[in-house]
Amino acid sequence: MTLSEELLIAYDQQLRTDAETPSAVAIERLGPLRLVTFPGGRGFVTYQDLEGASAQTIAHWVAEALAFYRNDPKIVRAEWKTRGHDHAPGLHDALLANGFEPDETESIMIGPASALNAEVPLPPGISLRRVTEERDIRAMSAMQDEVFGDPVSDGNADPILHRAALDDGMELWVAEHDGAIVSAGRLEPVPNTDFAGIWGGATRAQWRGQGIYRALTAARARAALALGKTLIHSDSTDYSRPILERSGLHRVSTTTPYRWRR
């Protein structure tokens, strides 16, 4: 068995459980599916595997899951998280038939936290810090909205503030220049596992290629190691994947979110 295969097994066994949704308001079961409700009117469908289900059964589950969210007027959007290594006959077609649209496919990256712990020189005037105040968190979220091409709104900031209020171990890190946030990301230690996740990595275009994201990743890796976490995982875009690969993380699979909006 290769290292990548071992890491993928650890991912499936340790992370594709309730550990994946620590801030859930409610979770309902539909066969192997977990139908999750998050703050802010967001639904989320995930599962450890589909138990060898047929295309017909999977199509039924997709329709039932969508009906579940449609029947809750508070839900305004939902995501079905697929993984490239799953055996899921007919899933893509069933999702499209029920109004889900595929988003960008990302790489599932996993590797030792120690590999990311490096001293990275920062450009002049750039500093890193962990943020905890609402003003800073909203500024961080607004920057990420802009970088990802989304309208700046409270739709992403409010759930992060909710998480911060829970004090569940999540850490928010930013890089700043002259008081303005130019890069950001969060660290999410996963209880009762070897893992911490690094998420939401975003850097303004004019600041890319200068080591800022790499330094921010190293800071989060050091924080993870201090918490006793030995493995890092991330769903990475094509911007961040090469950086993580050069640091020793492995691309073990892919993940594609399918999104539905009311």
Q: Where are the domains of the chain?
A: 3-109, 111-253
The string of pLDDT tens digits covering residues 108-136 is 999 999 999 989 999 999 999 999 999 99
Same fold yes or no, 3-109 and 111-253: yes
78 burial via Cβ count (<10 Å: 0-12, 13-18, 19+): buried
Dihedral sign, Cα of residue 17, residue 12, residue 66, residue 100: positive
Q: What pLDDT, on a 0 to 100 scale, did the predictor assign at position 167? A: 85
The angle subtended at Cα 27 by Cα 21 and Cα 31, nearest 5°, is 105
Please determine, for residue 54, whether its predicted confidence score (pLDDT) is greater than 80.
Answer: yes
Classify 3-109 by CATH class: alpha beta
Place 238 in a pLDDT band, splitting at 50, 70 and 90. Answer: confident
CA dihedral 59, 79, 85, 149 (to 10 degrees): 140
Only one residue has tokens 């500024």, namely 139
The string of pLDDT tens digits covering residues 205-223 is 999 999 999 999 999 999 9
CATH architecture, range 111-253: 3-Layer(aba) Sandwich (3.40)
Please determine, for residue 159, whether its predicted confidence score (pLDDT) is greater than 90.
Answer: no
Give the residue-averaged pLDDT of 47-56: 96
Please determine, for residue 155, whether its predicted confidence score (pLDDT) is greater than 80.
Answer: no
Place 63 in a pLDDT band, splitting at 50, 70 and 90. Answer: very high
Q: What pLDDT, on a 0 to 100 scale, did the predictor assign at position 239? A: 81
Percent of the chain with pLDDT over 70: 100
Please determine, for residue 243, whether its predicted confidence score (pLDDT) is greater than 80.
Answer: yes
Q: What pLDDT, on a 0 to 100 scale, did the predictor assign at position 193? A: 95
Please determine, for residue 150, whether its predicted confidence score (pLDDT) is greater than 90.
Answer: no
CA dihedral 205, 210, 212, 217 (to 10 degrees): 110
Please determine, for residue 67, whether its predicted confidence score (pLDDT) is greater than 80.
Answer: yes
Q: What is the mean pLDDT of the chain?
A: 94
Please give the model's pTM, rounded to 2 decimal places.
0.87
Q: Which of 96-100, 186-190, 197-201, 253-257 is least confident?
A: 197-201
Radius of gyration of the chain (CA): 18
Q: What pLDDT, on a 0 to 100 scale, did the predictor assign at position 39? A: 85
Give the residue-averaged pLDDT of 221-249: 92
